[in-house]
Every structure is written in structure tokens, then in C-alpha cells.
């Protein structure tokens, strides 16, 4: 059987550009994983890891024009956005280099022996060590920042784990180019090429998550694909951690006061956020609860105007275009759903943005008649659900699945904590959050917190800052674990603790030595050392 | 259908003592979970959680005699051991109260807005919030420390999560008594009884892990039972974290030098560790690699003598006794396996300790003829595998599954790092550990590290200190996650991060306020604040 070719396709025309590679056979997956496994030892030195991440960033920046051109040709995301994405990607690589060097992520804990306790306590020294080979499943919508040189790869390398990336079929050429640069960076800092593997093909992806030497996986993509891989990871003889980001509706609640004060600003902001990148962000606001009445009407008019003025865009591939058109059609056909601006086919290869409206009460109906509106629809569409009162807000929130983000648009008095009117409660099966004060704003914030990993006030969820305190994750199906895939703590996904008991000083790893030769932050005998 | 009775049984006689309860129906599981879910808000205040944990410890201590008597009557573990276990349990509850009060586990991260960055960075404030209702599956072999008032319950309550415990059938009366005391403690500090639920019955346990309002689970028990529940947790429409401790062989490697210097001490120490609690510890050393030759022979003789002098003991229940006798019989029948002291039936209800020997080479054979010896056998038996050279040690380690612990017995020069002889490598699919120096001791330590969550030198794995730096977990099947179930970091299992973006100060939870009113340790703009 001839190996299946992997084509780079131009989504602006639907035409094949070039054959980039062939799909990996089981033997090729085996070879990539084995090479990565054999490269583990080479990543043990944190200085080398930091050097790799910095050198990779430099090489990617240096090849910026070529990368942006390649990525644009097969994603149609445009040079502006892709230049920004490349900056984000190299910033992220350098940020993880800083994380590696500081070493706080090693979580060093030292308890000295205490023979006076009953029973006597031995000397215990704990830190975190890399899990082993990490499988990374690249996203369609970020050919760089969530693909070969993206956050999963960067954080895994930072942790000391070699990676094998399963390329996304939407950008095989960009994937090959990025992987070649990462491997060159590896070689330049004295690491074997095996620290970065790359495979193409659906079957190869399934092989990868099942491979006995793969120790963990990171995924960004659809609920369907992600759940299938999650299930495969859990069904292994030795299950492995599967950190998947699957899908998110990213609800927004606009209060009456917010609409009163800022209807036009909110409508325009929403239009910008939901159509950004032709609506292909995992944090696109997909459901907006806005009040009935004149203020909400102003918001809707403003949204109508701004969305109408949005240029048609090209989606990442034609399969997605079909799914978007089908998804919109199905949703628009539901009872009481209107389309003030109909999302749909633009030209032969483009789609035009739009939005749907529905009475919020319909979303809360028994029987889930309108549950389809509570599922993510990838592309430039959102649903404006008009509510009558707080009870309706609460009833809708109670039906929502987990999300990456949840957003509040509040009025000035609500932000100041002063408005003590009744607030919605409900939503989520987990947390009860204790936010500040007892006003309406605080109560709404507390109601949204169980639904998401990031909660925003008076902003828009698109734009996920790469920052230490970032959390990009959330209750299922937003993510399959409690971890983040963006920000410094993303490195925690690829580590496990090990404790050494009564180990002779001469044998201890330097990270755990009493004299702290690596100058690591530590907790000693239950307290921070400095 | 009449509810199935739950009996307290005396393992010393096999006779029923009393009917304690009935197995929970699906409706009763629902009621327990619902009550726990409704109690979440009451646990939001960390001061109340600390008070609950301390009050529970006091009440348990106060009822010590009654508890030890109840536990001994249905576990036969003996008043000495159970008094110690109760101290451990109440120490643990108080230790988690300290953890709650310090608040480092909240992992507060604050990044201030930076409008100068491209793109501008928003204000981000992250901390960890409780997941929701935690299901706790109690262990057979620790009626207190890993059961109703044990580490899973204590750490979940510390995290702010109500618990529903599925009692172990071996100690229903102790479970009821403990739960009543925990609930009394809850009521005394103003919490609803629902924060501590208790259900009996196998089916109830399955219902529990499938319940939509259960947000996470902790389990200590067998590979078979744990894996079934893990699979059920992963197969839910919304999968949940399942932190299970399933099984561990706890390998020990004795070097030639160690045997030369301390054969008798090692033989006696091993006998003590493997027969402690009638061999019913999850960290019992179940496989010991000892050298062929005179030093190893001395070790074997010393082990023979010490094990022969060990009194017969009562196992936790008769099913376990049967499994132990079958397991030993099956292992002893393998080719080249000898039994210098035959483990087996003592009296009608007791078992006597023993050990098996096998040439280490047989454990490494292709085809896995002796793989049964690499599986945990619960009860007072261990396997002494005699090796010829380091290659054999490496070959056996390479076949081992994951473990809670791995132990090295080294000679004095090896401990000092001075012996540069060849060391074994191999073992594990994950980590390459970088231990200190290049001597034989360091190389063996590096070879054992991938196999376990705790690595000991010149000690014995039984006795798991409750300490901040403890790690009680390990590669599968030791645990199903990378988390620990003992020590301060066990609380991390029941939390998830949430980040607030650009949230007005008046609405922020006090944990995230700029002025840090709760005096929490924080990282601000990527650095520890103090």
C-alpha cells in the first residue's frame, strides 16, 4: 500500500498547493517515539532546556517572513494576525525559558528528619521530574501558537519532556518548517533531533496516544476528536494524563445597567470579538445574554450594524466551512430563532459573519429543545439570547456546559459593588465561589465562576494573554483536566513528584542538596525558605 | 426488594458481630450527594474548614478507646497498631488545618496590567477553588487513616470540598462511628451534616462515581476495583479526576556491598517490614533483589530465621485470606521457585508469614514466565530474587510496573558516592533522573527513580510519614494520577484554578485583592512577593 500523501491546501481556493509529506506508518510513529524516548537524558539539564527554548525563539523570529508566508498560504489567517501569532509564540518560548531557569516549578520541598516525633520522621526531599515523551496534537486555528512550536511543545520541553507532535492537516507545510527550525535549535545547543518528532495522519495520531512509551498528551481541537483521544488514553493498559482543550461556548452576560450605559460599545465590542479571525477562536463569545427592552435593543442594533460591516472571511478549510454553514442553518431553523444578520456563504470560498437571536426562556426549556444553541459553532456567529429577568439568566446558566471563559458586562455601580439588587444564582455543578461583597456584580461573578476557567469583567474573551497568572482551561468540555495550556503553570502538566527518603547527601540530585547549589526556591520543614 | 444488610464481621472468627447498616440504594446515594452538594457554600470560609478539621481531630482523639475497640473488632489489626493509626489520623487532620490556614495551596498568582506590552496585558488574578463534591473510597487496610476520617477526606475538606465516603465492607461499624464524629464536629462548628456523607455497598460505590454532581474521586484499594472505578470515571459524559492508589510491588535492591556489610541487619529489617501488619501495607516490600554468593546467603538465612519467628496473624477478611493462600500457592508452583519459609495457613483464621526465592534471571525471561512474581500479593510474603550481576538487576527493573516506593540497600562506600564500579541502568518508561555523582549508588538511585514515587536508601518502605514533602503515589498501577494521597500537597487534587481578568477591585474575592487582606503567600508579576 502506497503511503497516503499529505497535501498543503490553499483554503482561499480549495486547491492543493504541494505535497508536503506522507502520513506516518505505525513504524514511523514507533521510530519518532523511540527517538524522543532516547533523547530524554539529553534534556535533563535545565540550562540546556532554557538554551533550546531561546534558540528556537530566535530561529523562528529569524525565519519570520517565511513562516508567516507558509502559514498564510495554508490557513488564510492573514499576515497581520500570523505575524502577531509568531510573536506570541516566540514570546512564549522565551517565557518558558525563564520558568525553567527560575526553577520554582520543580516544587522543591524538604523536610528534615525529626527523631523526636512519634513515629520518628525520616528526611524527605521532594521535587518534580519530567514524565517522559509527550504527544502534542496541534490545533487547526493556531498554526504556530498552538501547533508545532506552540505552548504544549514549549511547556513540555521546559519540563524536560521530548515531544512528538501530530501535525494538524490544515497546515502541514508550516508544521514541517517549524519542526525543522526547532530541530536545528536542538542541534545547535547540542541536543539530538529526537527531542522534537513530527508525524502526519489521523491514524498516526491514534497510534501515538496508544504508544507505551508516550507518557502524556496535550491536545487542542474539537470535542469529537479530543474525546476520542481522551478515551484512548484512558483505555490504555497504563492510562496517561490527557490534557485536552475541546470546546467552549464562552457565555457573556450583559446586565441591564451595562446595556443602559454602554449598549453601542458592547455591541461593537462583541462584533469585533466574535468575528476576530473569522470567528475561529476557541474563546469566541458564542452566547450572549442581553436584556429585553430598549437598552438591549440598542445593543442589538449596534451589533447588527457592526456585524453587517464585517468583511467575509475564509475559514481554515472547506470541511469547516461546510460544518459552519450546516451548523448555522440548523440553529436558525429552531423555533423563535431570528437572524438579524444571517451568517452564511460569502463567495465560493468565504463565509460572512452573522448572529442569531432567541428568547432566553427557550434556552432553559425542559427537554432541551434549544440545546444546540448551547454548543459551540466554530466560525463567525454568535447567539444573542434576550432575557426578561434574573431568573432567566440563572436558568440558562444552570444548563451550560463547562467553558474556557465567562464574561460579565456590568454597569458602573455594579462594578463598584454598590448595587444590592437581586442577582442570579445557579450554574455549574462544582464550585461555590466567594467573590467580594454582596452586590449584584459580585453575585453574578460568583454565578459565572463555576462555569469557566477565566472570568472577565467588561472585556472580551478573545486574546489570551501569555502571562504567569493566565489560566486557559475550564470544566469539561473546555478541558479534560484541571490544567492550563497557556501561562507559566502549563509546565505542571508534564511533571510528577518524587520524594527521596533518607538519601545520602552524596547521591542526591543537586536540586535537593542541603546547600541548594542551584539556588532554587524551596519550602523547608513546611515553610518557604525565603 | 429488602435492603441488603451490612454486617460487621470479626476476622478472628469469621463470625458476624452485628448488622451495622444497609446498603445504600440509588436514591440514598443521590440524597447523600445532593446534601454534600448543597453544603459546598458552607465550606467556603477557610477558617471554618480549619476549625472543622481541628474539632474532628479532637473528637476522634476523645473517642479513641471506643474507636480502637471498634476497629480492632472488625479488622484484627490490634490495639497497638490502631492506636498509632488513630494518632496518625488526627495528626493528619490538624496538619491539613495548618495547610488551610497558611493558604499557600491557593496558589495565588497576580499579574498587573501592562498596557506597554504588545498586545497589552490585562490584569490577571488566579487562585484555586474547590472542585465540588468528592467521592472517597475507603481502604480495607487502614480503617482510619485511609478511610472515613483519613487523608482523602481530610484533604478534600481542607480544599473546601464536601465528601461522600463509600465505606469499606471490612469495617462498617468503625466507618459509622467515625462519620458520626465527623458530622458532630461539622455541626459544632456550624456546618451542615451534609459535608460528610457515608454510603455502604458495592453498587452504591459505582453509583457514586457516576453521579453527575460528583466532581472528583479518591480511592485506595486493589488494581481490579480501582481500575473499574477509574474506567467508570473516565467514561462519564463529563469525565472527572480519579485519584486512585491501586497496587505496588515496592522493589528493593540490595547491593553486594550492602549484603557484605549488613546481611543480618537487612534480613531482619526486611522480615520486620514485610510482616508488619501481617503484610497488609500497600508499601510492603514485595520483591527483593539480593546478590548470589555468601553475603546474599547470610541475608537469606537471617530472613529465614526472622520470618520463622514471626507469629501467625489474622488477615482483614476471609476473602483476603483465601486470595493470599491461592496467590502464594500459585507463585510457589512456578519453576525454580523455592520457599525457605512457606507462607500459608496458620490456624483456621490465621496465616503464617513466609518468603519465596527465585533466580533473578527467571524474572527477566522472554515470555514473562514468572511475571506473576512481579504482581503484588497482599499478605505476609515477599520474593527474594538472587542476581548474578548488574545486568540481571537492570533486566528485572526493566520489567517492573510502577510503584509507590523503591528501596536501595547500599554499602558505606556506595553511599559516599565513592564507588565508581558499573551500575545497573534501565527500568521505567518515563523519567531519566539526574542523581548526584557518577558512582554506583547514584546510578542505582537513577535507575530506581523512574519506577516509583518515593525512593529510599537503607530504610524500609513501610511507615509513610505524614509530612509536607511526602509523596505517596507513583507510576501506574501505583496511582492513576501524578498526585499524592499523603502529605500537604494531597490537597491539590481537589482544586482547579480560575483566573479573573480586569475584575473591579470591589468584586474580587478577598484572596485576590491587591492589599492582600488574608496575608496569603503570592507570586506577583512572575515573582514571589516575599
Which residue of chain A comes nearest to B449, CA vs CA? Answer: A498
B508 and A436 in contact by Cβ < 8 A?
yes
Interchain contact, A435 vs B481, CB within 8 Å? no
Q: Is residue A121 assigned to a domain?
A: no
- Looking at the structure, do residues A271 and A233 belong to the same domain, yes or no? no
Secondary structure class of A289 (helix, strand, coil): strand
pLDDT in tens, A180-191: 999 999 999 999
- Measure in Å the smallest separation between the Cα of A113 and chain B Cα atoms: 10
Half-sphere exposure of B21 (CA within 13 A, CB side): 21
For residue B505, the chain A residues in CB contact (below 8 A) are 436
Q: Write the CB contacts of A310 (distance below 8 Å, at least 6 apart in sequence).
A: A271, A275, A352, A353, A380
Q: A209 in a domain, yes or no?
A: yes
Q: Looking at the structure, tell me whether residues A186 and A240 fall in a common domain.
A: yes
Side by side, which strands form the sheet with B344-345? Answer: B313-314, B350-352, B344-345
**Given B442, B496, B509, which is nearest A435 (Cβ)?**
B509
Residues of chain A with pLDDT under 70: 1-2, 419-435
Q: How far apart are CA B520 and CA B101, in angstroms?
A: 9
SS3 category, B245: strand
Nearest CA in chain B to A230: B234
> What CA–CA distances, in Å, run from B134 to A5, A493, B218, B410, B482?
48, 22, 7, 42, 18
**What angle (nearest 5°) sits at the alpha carbon of residue B507, between those of residues B501 and B512?**
65
The answer as to whether A467 is a domain residue is no
Of B111, B469, B509, the CB nearest to A469: B111
CB pair distance less than 8 Å for A465 and B122: yes
Cell readout for A60 is: 523562528
How many CA atoms are closer than 13 Å to the CA of B70, on its beta-carbon side?
Answer: 20
Q: How far is A335 from chain B (nearest CA, A)?
A: 27
CA distance B137 to chain A (A): 20
Residue with cell 478515551: A231
Question: With an 8 Å Cβ cutoff, are B476 and A239 in contact?
Answer: yes
- In angstroms, the separation between the Cα of residue A35 and the nearest Cα of chain B is 13
- B-chain residues within 8 Å CB-CB of A449? 129, 498
Is A94 in contact with A54 (CB distance < 8 Å)? yes
The CATH number assigned to the domain holding A168 equals 3.40.605.10
| 3-class DSSP string for A44-111 | CCHHHHHHHHHHHHHHHHHCHHHHHHHHHHHHCCCHHHHHHHHHHHHHHHHHHHHHHHHCHHHCEEEE
ipTM: 0.96
Which of B501, B510, B524, B530 to mutate: most A Cβ within 10 Å? B501
Q: Could you tell me if B171 and B15 are in contact, meaning their C-beta atoms sit under 8 angstroms apart?
A: no
Among the partner-chain residues A231, A469, A506, the one whose CB lies closest to the CB of B110 is A469
H/E stretch holding A13: none
Helix/strand/coil for B496: strand
* Contact between A230 and B215 using a beta-carbon 8 Å cutoff: no
Query: Do B229 and B259 share a domain, yes or no?
Result: no
pLDDT of B419: 61
Q: Which of B411, B441, B457 is the last residue of a domain?
A: B457
Residues A71 and A144 both lie in one domain: yes
Residues A125-177 pLDDT 10s: 999 999 999 999 999 999 999 999 999 999 999 999 999 999 999 999 999 99
Instruction: Please tell me the predicted confidence (pLDDT) of residue A423.
Output: 44
Say if the Cβ atoms of B109 and A468 lie within 8 Å: yes
**Domain identity same for A196 and A314:** no
Condensed to tens digits (0 to 9), the pLDDT of residues A260-275 reads 999 999 999 999 999 9
| Residue-wise DSSP of B267-282 | HHHHHHHHHGGGG--T
Q: Per the structure block, which three cell numbers stand in for B233? A: 470515571
Does residue A3 lie in a domain region? Answer: no
Asked if residue A272 and residue A201 are part of one domain, the reply reads no
Q: CA angle at residue B276 from B273 to B281, to 5 degrees?
A: 90
Per-residue burial over B370-379, b if 16 or more Cβ lie within 10 Å, else e, is beebbebbbb
Test the B interface: residue of A212, A489, A501 with most B CBs within 10 Å: A501
Q: Which residue from B239, B442, B502 is facing A456, i.e. has the nearest CB?
A: B502
Do the chains contact at A507 and B442, CB–CB below 8 Å?
Answer: yes
Q: For B478, what's the count of Cα atoms within 13 Å in the CB-facing half-sphere? A: 29
pLDDT of residue B366: 85
Note whether A402 and A261 are same-domain residues. yes
Instruction: Judge if A239 and A255 occupy the same domain.
Output: no
In chain B, what residues touch A473 (CB-CB under 8 Å)? 496-497
| Closest residue to B501, CB basis, from A239, A455, A481 | A455
Total domains, chain B: 2
The answer to whether A483 and A243 are in contact (CB under 8 A) is: yes
Other beta carbons within 10 angstroms of residue A192's beta carbon come to 17
CATH, residue B261: 3.40.309.10
Query: How many Cβ contacts (< 8 angstroms) between chains A and B?
Result: 312
Which of A238, A433, A463 has its CB closest to that of B476? A238
Same domain, B235 and B381: no
Of the listed B245, B256, B376, B511, which one is catalytic? B245
CB B157 within 8 A of CB B163: yes
Q: At A17, phi and psi to the nearest 5? A: -90, -50
Residues in chain A with CB shorter than 8 Å from the CB of B477 are 238
- Is A124 within a domain? no
Chain B interface mutation, best of A99, A244, A498, highest count of B Cβ atoms under 10 Å: A498
Strand partners, A338: A357
β-strand partners of B407: B252, B456
A448: exposed, middle or buried (C-beta count within 10 Å: 0-12, 13-18, 19+)?
A: buried
Listing DSSP states for B377-402 in one string gives --SSEEEEEEESSHHHHHHHHTT---
Quick check: is B295 in a domain?
yes
The whole-number mean pLDDT for each consecutive block of 10 residues of chain B, a chain of 530 residues, reads 89 96 97 98 97 98 98 98 97 98 97 90 98 98 98 98 98 98 98 98 97 98 97 98 98 98 98 97 98 98 98 95 97 97 91 98 92 97 97 96 98 84 47 69 96 98 96 98 97 98 96 96 92
In a shared domain, residues A177 and A242: yes
Specify the pTM: 0.96
User: Which is nearest to A55 in space by CA: A151, A181, A203?
Assistant: A181
Q: What is the pLDDT of residue A432?
A: 54
The answer to whether residues A203 and A294 belong to one domain is no
A85 occurs within a structural domain: yes
- Kindly list the residues from chain A whose CB atom is less than 8 angstroms away from the CB atom of residue B115: none
Beta strands in A377-434 (DSSP E): 381-387, 403-409
Chain B hits for A44, Cβ within 8 Å: 432-434
A323 and A231 part of one domain: no
Residues of A tagged active-site: 245, 282
Catalytic residue among B161, B176, B282, B377: B282
Contact list, B488 vs chain A (CB under 8 Å): 526
Q: Which of A288, A374, A386 is CA-nearest to residue A336?
A: A386
B379–chain A nearest CA distance, Å: 23
Residue B462 lies inside a defined structural domain of this protein:
no
For A471, the closest of B126, B432, B454 (CB atoms) is B126
CA pair distance B516, A83, nearest whole angstrom: 39
The whole domain housing B85 covers 23-103+129-246+482-494
Which residues have CB under 8 Å from A7's CB, separation 6+?
A16, A17, A18, A19, A20, A172
Q: Which residues of chain A make contact with B471, given a CB cutoff of 8 A? A: 126, 497-499
Q: Contact A20/A176 with Cβ under 8 angstroms?
A: yes
The pLDDT value recorded for residue B394 is: 96
**Can you read off the three cell numbers belonging to residue B261?**
556489610
Amino acid at each position: 500500500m502506497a503511503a497516503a500523501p499529505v497535501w498543503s491546501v490553499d483554503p482561499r481556493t480549495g486547491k492543493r498547493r504541494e505535497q508536503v509529506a506522507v502520513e506516518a506508518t505505525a513504524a514511523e510513529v514507533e521510530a519518532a517515539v523511540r527517538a524522543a524516548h532516547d533523547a530524554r537524558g539529553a534534556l535533563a539539564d535545565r540550562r540546556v532546556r532554557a538554551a533550546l527554548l531561546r534558540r528556537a525563539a530566535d530561529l523562528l523570529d529569524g525565519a519570520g517572513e517565511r513562516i508567516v508566508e507558509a502559514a498564510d498560504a495554508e490557513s488564510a489567517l492573514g499576515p497581520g494576525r500570523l505575524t502577531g501569532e509568531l510573536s506570541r509564540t516566540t514570546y512564549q518560548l522565551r517565557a518558558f525559558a525563564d520558568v525553567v531557569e527560575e526553577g520554582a516549578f520543580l516544587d522543591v520541598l524538604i523536610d528534615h528528619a525529626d527523631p523526636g516525633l512519634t513515629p520518628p520522621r525520616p528526611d524527605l526531599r521532594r521535587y518534580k521530574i519530567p514524565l517522559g515523551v509527550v504527544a502534542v496534537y496541534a490545533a487547526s486555528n493556531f498554526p504556530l501558537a498552538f501547533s508545532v512550536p506552540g505552548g504544549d511543545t514549549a511547556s513540555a520541553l521546559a519540563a524536560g519532556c521530548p515531544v512528538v507532535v501530530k501535525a494538524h492537516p490544515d497546515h502541514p507545510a508550516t508544521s514541517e518548517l517549524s519542526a525543522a527550525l526547532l530541530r536545528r535549535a536542538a542541534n545547535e545547543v547540542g541536543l539530538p533531533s529526537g527531542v522534537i518528532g513530527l508525524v502526519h495522519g489521523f491514524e498516526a495520531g491514534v497510534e501515538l496516544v496508544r504508544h507505551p512509551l508516550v507518557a502524556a498528551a496535550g491536545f487542542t481541537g474539537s470535542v469529537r476528536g479530543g474525546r476520542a483521544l481522551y478515551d484512548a488514553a484512558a483505555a490504555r493498559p497504563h492510562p496517561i494524563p490527557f490534557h485536552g482543550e475541546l470546546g467552549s461556548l464562552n457565555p457573556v452576560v450583559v446586565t441591564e445597567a451595562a446595556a443602559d450605559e454602554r449598549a453601542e460599545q458592547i455591541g461593537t465590542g462583541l462584533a469585533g470579538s466574535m468575528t476576530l479571525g473569522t470567528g475561529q477562536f476557541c474563546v469566541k463569545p458564542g452566547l450572549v445574554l442581553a436584556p429585553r427592552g430598549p437598552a438591549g435593543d440598542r445593543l442589538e442594533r449596534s451589533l447588527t450594524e457592526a456585524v453587517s460591516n464585517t468583511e467575509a472571511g475564509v475559514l481554515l478549510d472547506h470541511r469547516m466551512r461546510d460544518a459552519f454553514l450546516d451548523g448555522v442553518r440548523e440553529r436558525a431553523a429552531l423555533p423563535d430563532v431570528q437572524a438579524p444578520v444571517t451568517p452564511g456563504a460569502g463567495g465560493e470560498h468565504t463565509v460572512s459573519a452573522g448572529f442569531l437571536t432567541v428568547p432566553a426562556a427557550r434556552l432553559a426549556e425542559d427537554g432541551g429543545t434549544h440545546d444546540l444553541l448551547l454548543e459551540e459553532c466554530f466560525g463567525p456567529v454568535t447567539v444573542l439570547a434576550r432575557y426578561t429577568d434574573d431568573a432567566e439568566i440563572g436558568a440558562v446558566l444552570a444548563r451550560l456546559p463547562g467553558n474556557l471563559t465567562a464574561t460579565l458586562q456590568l454597569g458602573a455601580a455594579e462594578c463598584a459593588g454598590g448595587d444590592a439588587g437581586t442577582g442570579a444564582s445557579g450554574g455549574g455543578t462544582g464550585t461555590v465561589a466567594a467573590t467580594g461583597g454582596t452586590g449584584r456584580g459580585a453575585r453574578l461573578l460568583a454565578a459565572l465562576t463555576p462555569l469557566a476557567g477565566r472570568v472577565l469583567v467588561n472585556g472580551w474573551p478573545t486574546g489570551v494573554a501569555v502571562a504567569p497568572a493566565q489560566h486557559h482551561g475550564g470544566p469539561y468540555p473546555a478541558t479534560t483536566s484541571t490544567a492550563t495550556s497557556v501561562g507559566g503553570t502549563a509546565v505542571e502538566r508534564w511533571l510528577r513528584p518524587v520524594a527521596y527518603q533518607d538519601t545520602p547527601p552524596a547521591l542526591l540530585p543537586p536540586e535537593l542538596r542541603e546547600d541548594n547549589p542551584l539556588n532554587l526556591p524551596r519550602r523547608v520543614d513546611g515553610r518557604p525558605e525565603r
